[in-house]
Amino acid sequence: MPEDTRPFTPLDVWTILWRGRRWVIAFPLAFAVLAVVQGSLTRRSYTTTVVFAPEQGGRTPAQFAGIAAQFGLAVGGVETSESPLFYADLVRTWPILAAVTESTYTLTSDSGPVTATLVELFRAPGTTPEQQRSEAARRLLSRTAVSVRTQTGVVRLSVRTFDPDLSEQVAARFLTEINAFNLRSRQSRAGNERQFVEDRLAEARDSLTAAEVRLRRFQEQNRSFSAPELGFEEGRLEREVMTRQQVFTTLAQAFEQARIDEVRNTPVLTVIEGPRRAAWPDARRRLLRAFVGAVVGGMIGITVAFAIDGVAAAGRDRSLSRGGGEPS
């Protein structure tokens, strides 16, 4: 029997869907209902959002760096804070997540205050403490959202948990850990710079002393002179002393600033909106859940309808083949 090479038309699709209409209708309805029921039975969540901006500004005045740069000296220049995107990535790093996870939080229960870490509160599974901490950090990351407005440099951090007090405390802990990380980084950087500037300051002091000695000796040896060459030489030596003095002053100021920054412990974040206890639970979004469930169920229903029609068509083809093979 010759094969049917007729093209597949939209009418054929409609015919298949009409034959399997019970599946095309039943699956979307069932999945939509299940999605709504599942959302209604899910534990309510509470979200706390904090908004902050990195500290702006510099440490060493630019004009000091410019003067020192004429002699190949690097004193740090203008130090700008890390970009807001840096903080968005910092929140997702293991040191920050581990510190927040291992911190203790106090919640109020029917039996009284409860103090525990996120490992205990999230009931993180695992056979070892390391596995439990890793799982708790993963769950914390899934409940944390970070967004950045590059136009304004503002970072928005949201934490969602099953308790409004816990969400507030975790968001506050994130801010504390970010500040602590920045302070350690800044103090370490300032310590390295202090050591570097201190060494260059000693060299600048020796160069200044040597230039002053040359000028003094020239003046002692030429107390009265009228030759233009001697006047030019004295001017050159005076300019050298002045320049060396400017470099020494610049390095001395940079050294003192580095010493201050090495022990500075002021926050480096400007908190625009601090953590607040959520007054209302998060929306369950039943309509969205129902829509997504209906879409998924519709795709499954259409697949089932086509599969059933394909099986039926294959059965009809086998029957026709057996009928054509019998003697007439």
Q: How far apart are alpha carbons 209 and 67 in whole angstroms? A: 19
Three-state secondary structure string covering 174-236: HHHHHHHHHHHHHHHHHHHHHHHHHHHHHHHHHHHHHHHHHHHHHHHHCCCCCCHHHHHHHHH
* Burial annotation 194-226 (CB, 10 A radius, 16+ → b, else e): bebbeebbeebeebbeebeeebeebeeeeeeee
Per-residue model confidence (pLDDT) at position 198: 83
Per-residue model confidence (pLDDT) at position 74: 52
Per-residue model confidence (pLDDT) at position 153: 85
Per-residue model confidence (pLDDT) at position 267: 64
pTM over 0.85: no
Compute the half-sphere exposure of residue 73: CA atoms within 13 Å on the CB side of its CA.
29
Listed residue (123, 293, 261, 278) closest to 183, CA to CA: 261
Q: How far apart are alpha carbons 58 and 35 in whole angstroms? A: 53
Mean pLDDT by 10 residues, the chain (328 residues): 60 79 85 78 83 68 49 48 80 92 88 87 87 92 91 90 92 92 80 83 88 84 71 82 89 84 71 87 75 87 84 73 56
